[in-house]
Amino acid sequence: MGIGTEWYRKTLLTITGIPLVEKLSTTYGKRLASRFIAGETLEEALDEIEALGKLGIMATLDHLGEGIQQLSEAAAYKEQYLKLIEGIAARKVNSNVSLKPTQMGLALNQEACCSNIREVVKHARRYRNFVRIDMENTPYTQATIDIVRRLHKEGLKNVGTVLQAYLFRTEQDAKDLLRERVNLRLVKGAYKESSDVAYQKTAEVIESFKNIIKLHLDNGVYTAIASHDDAIISWVKAYVRTKRIQKHAFEFQMLYGLRMNEQARLAKEGYRIRCYVPYGVMWYPYFTRRLAEKPANLMMVLKNMSAL
């Protein structure tokens, strides 16, 4: 990713915040977004997960929704998550759960958000499942980590979160959470963050990413490495080979609709690979972050457009 790509990412993340762009996209973009979304209903998403399972690909299921306005919406999303956990168990598919803290009310009331998440995590524990709390933008970083730590201390070990390599603070967070053996997904970071808090250069983000991956693998904690980047994936493969780290000590993760052949190939090679499967009607912010990540994603969507 060079300077051109950095410019592209920032521009797209900026224009997608404009209401007119949102209106046009939500009116015309639904079929285009379906490239990245596994359906609007739980059943549709579970069908996709079942198909992935046949290829040896595990899943993490996400009910789309973020930036809610009222706590009643958070309560409704929480109910959806309880059903989703039951749906995974009923269909006996290999999937855990991912959720966004603002969807559970983090921007409105941290305490209420924590109780919503606690309820979901306890429900998941009844079904021997795991809940990953996605990491959103920096106003929520500390609060998200606090909630996950608190639940961990309460004995709920089936909850983990995400660390973003682009943040300056992440190396320290990684060390702290490692001590508490919190299960982490490591990513580059998907939001627009300022140079006060985040690396802006690709090379710096990659170096930080490799450092936190190494820290985890070297300490023998289970590590989820979420990236579509061949350079990162090959580097991880070489690193674990040199260090004689077993394939079951870590997993790769990728997003639904991206590099599906590569996901199947990794599964065939015996690596653990998990696909992040989002579903639901609130697809706009998720979709635009995917477009911002890579011009090729936008090109893929535009190519499909001519076929509509």
Q: Is 189 in the site for ligand FDA (CB under 6 A)?
A: yes
Q: Is 183 in the site for ligand FDA (CB under 6 A)?
A: no
Q: Phi and psi dihedrals of 157, rounded to 5?
A: -85, -5
Q: Is 104 in the site for ligand FDA (CB under 6 A)?
A: no
**Is 146 marked active-site?**
no
Determine which one of 9, 118, 132, 185 is catalytic. 185
Q: How far apart are CA 240 and CA 213, in angstroms?
A: 11
Q: Is 239 in the site for ligand FDA (CB under 6 A)?
A: no
C-beta of residue 271 within 8 angstroms of C-beta of residue 247: yes
Distance (Å) of CA 74 to CA 170, 245, 278: 28, 41, 17
Reading the block at residue 141, the tokens are 């970083």
Shortest distance in whole angstroms from residue 148 CB to ligand FDA: 12
Tell me if 135 is assigned to a ligand binding site: yes
Q: Is 233 in the site for ligand FDA (CB under 6 A)?
A: no
Q: Is 228 in the site for ligand FDA (CB under 6 A)?
A: yes
**Is 185 marked active-site?**
yes
Q: Is 48 in the site for ligand FDA (CB under 6 A)?
A: no
Shortest distance in whole angstroms from residue 225 CB to ligand FDA: 9
29 versus 251: smaller Cβ distance to ligand FDA: 251
Q: How far apart are CA 7 and CA 2, in angstroms?
A: 9
C-beta of residue 99 within 8 angstroms of C-beta of residue 120: yes
Determine which one of 134, 173, 272, 274 is catalytic. 134
Q: Is 276 in the site for ligand FDA (CB under 6 A)?
A: yes
Q: Is 152 in the site for ligand FDA (CB under 6 A)?
A: no
| CA 175 to chain CA mean position, Å | 21
162 versus 182: smaller Cβ distance to ligand FDA: 162
Give the residue, chosen from 12, 174, 254, 266, that forms a contact with ligand FDA under the rule CB under 6 A.
254
Q: Is 222 in the site for ligand FDA (CB under 6 A)?
A: no
Q: Which residues are catalytic?
A: 134, 185
Binding site for ligand FDA (CB under 6 A): 1, 134-135, 162, 164, 187-191, 226-230, 232, 253-255, 258-259, 276, 293-294, 296
